[in-house]
Amino acid sequence: MASIKADVIIAIKRCIENYFDTYNFSPSVREISSTTGISKSTVQRYLDAMECAGIVTRGELGLETLYISKTERDMVPVAKIGTIPCGPLDDREEYIDGYVKLPRSFVGNGTFFILTADGDSMVNAGIDDGDMVIIKKQDYAKKGDIVVALADGQSTLKRYFPEPENKRFRLHPENPEMEDIYVSNCLVQGVATKVIKTL
């Protein structure tokens, strides 16, 4: 163990963890060697020593550090689809501008997408301009849910109140300075489940 160097251990450990973050499984000895510039025989010798010391273990996904063993593995790719107006109905088209991997334990089961809030009509619901809103994709909602509502080809983020007795839908902004929107036709595209804020 006298020939074991701490900086080499740190380099190998960091390589394993960075690779896992990227690919969701651990690198081979050859990949560690290629990334760190350390010979394969030296990498193997260090891995054996690190395993004896409990720094790494061998799990179902290969080499694991404490960080990897505690990392949530059931990740869900969630599409980011531009902005959603938190104001009057808007006719901007959706576009996917990337994907974010989120733990299933955080988002739950189903199909999800992320919209960035644009405007301040939902501030009293805790949704501020620029917040990312996680939307569960579904075509139904309960009275009072916050939904992505499509009406007359335009969409908005509002609290949803069907009024069948009046043959209309009320889309309620959570801002006392703004008025309700009334529409005769309304398609629910998804229900807001969580908000991710930028500080």
Catalytic residue positions, numbered: 121, 158
Q: % helix / strand / coil in the chain, to the nearest 5?
A: 25, 35, 40
φ and ψ at 115, to 5 degrees? -120, 145
What is the rounded CA–CA span in Å between residue 57 and residue 107?
A: 30
Q: Pick from 127, 126, 146: which is nearest to 191 by CA?
A: 146
* Max intra-chain CA distance, the chain: 82
Q: Pick from 179, 190, 194, 140: which is nearest to 162 by CA?
A: 140
List beta partners, residue 112: 136
Which ranges in the chain belong to alpha helices (H)?
Answer: 6-23, 29-36, 40-52, 66-69, 104-107
φ and ψ at 38, to 5 degrees? -95, 140
